[in-house]
Amino acid sequence: MSRIVVVGSINMDIVNQVEKFPLPGETIHGKGVDYLPGGKGANQAVAAALAGGQVEMLGAVGEDSFAPALLESLGRYGVGTKHVLRKPGTSGLAFITVADSGENQIILAEGSNGQVRPEDADESLLAGAHAVILQNEIPWETNLRVMQACRRLGGVRLVYNPAPVHPIPEEAYGLIDLLVVNETEAEGLSGLPVTNAEEASAAAEELVRRGAGSVLVTLGSKGAVYSDAEGESLFAPARKVRAVDTTAAGDTFIGALVAAGSNGMPIAEAMSFAAAAAAIAVTRPGAQASIPSREEIERSLA
Ligand code: ATP
């Protein structure tokens, strides 16, 4: 089995439930707090490991009391943590307040994620990997260094999920083998409207034209489209399920897709596998806690 390396964020989500949000200057009582390991990098690593990938995480936790819990949680899901660094200060934190209306407010404190530096991108770990997955919750300079290293090393599939979205420098598109974006990110990057599969395909083709080897646009309950530089176009419908919490749908899709690819599954089949994984995740509450195992995904496809 070939290795997947996720270079990205590790957060502790501190989730407080309230009846309604406080006004500026107001103090209110919350109904109870949950501490839930999260972060896009960690979520995608967990999704890839549970879906049958051999996964190593490269990122950082702080020197606080959250760090051991974050490492323990990754390990429990089968993610390798030998390359998770300890940095001075706090771990990445997400302060999430959920009101009874279902709306949420999130304040991110990047903590040690902001300290994952270009020189931390250990090339001996990247070399020989089947795929490396990046997001936008660590410094861009580090992502760029990883992209350049993968291109130089050759044979490593560079998967980039630019979330939260910010513009990709023109010259970086050519370093990306698979760009995975949701509707908002596809619109933001391509400058084109993306409200359905047809428009998503046009946006994907525009991003391929800029130099990405292939582009996958996820469209929530409307499925996902794929276009590549060889002119292949694919569509994977979303599975019909009753969604209760779509948190980490995208992260589950990406992790499962890359895990399937690392086990030799062709892209069309891998998209159906990933759609099945994400469909299970949206039927359960939480982020990492909602991500299914390979067995569960296969059972749902049988
Ligand atoms: P998030 O930010 O919540 O993690 P995202 O915006 O990155 O999600 P989406 O495009 O919403 O990603 O979803 C990714 C994939 O998950 C979709 O392509 C689809 O396969 C699956 N999915 C999402 N929502 C649903 C749903 N309601 N029913 C079935 N499948 C869904």
Concatenated DSSP letters of 125-169:
HHTT-SEEEE-SSS-HHHHHHHHHHHHHH-S-EEEE---S--PPP
> Per-residue confidence at 1, pLDDT binned at 50, 70, 90?
low
Helices (H) and strands (E) in the chain, counts: 9, 13
The residue contributing the CA closest to ligand 1 atom 5 is: 250
Ligand 1 closest atom vs CA 163: 7
Encoded amino acid at 263, one letter:
N
User: How confident is the model over 259-277, as a mean pLDDT?
Assistant: 98
User: How confident is the model over 142-169, as a mean pLDDT?
Assistant: 97
The residue contributing the CA closest to ligand 1 atom 9 is: 220
Q: Quick check: 51 and 294 in contact, CB under 8 A?
A: yes
In the chain, % of residues over pLDDT 90:
95
User: How confident is the model over 250-279, as a mean pLDDT?
Assistant: 98
> Per-residue confidence at 130, pLDDT binned at 50, 70, 90?
very high
* Interface predicted TM-score (ipTM) over 0.90: yes
CA dihedral sign, ordered 236, 237, 240, 246: positive
User: How confident is the model over 288-297, as a mean pLDDT?
Assistant: 96
User: How confident is the model over 179-202, as a mean pLDDT?
Assistant: 98
Please give all residues whose beta carbon lies within 6 A of any atom in ligand 1, as ranges: 182, 218-221, 223-224, 238-239, 241, 243, 246-251, 253, 275, 278-279, 282
Asked if 251 is an active-site residue, the reply is yes
Q: Quick check: 122 and 100 in contact, CB under 8 A?
A: no
User: How confident is the model over 92-105, as a mean pLDDT?
Assistant: 92
pLDDT of residue 285: 84
Whole-number average pLDDT of the chain: 96
158 pLDDT higher than 90: yes
CA atoms of 275 and 252, how far apart (whole Å): 9
CA atoms of 116 and 52, how far apart (whole Å): 27
Q: Where are the alpha helices (DSSP H) in the chain?
A: 40-50, 66-76, 123-126, 140-153, 183-190, 197-209, 249-262, 267-282, 294-301
pLDDT of residue 102: 82
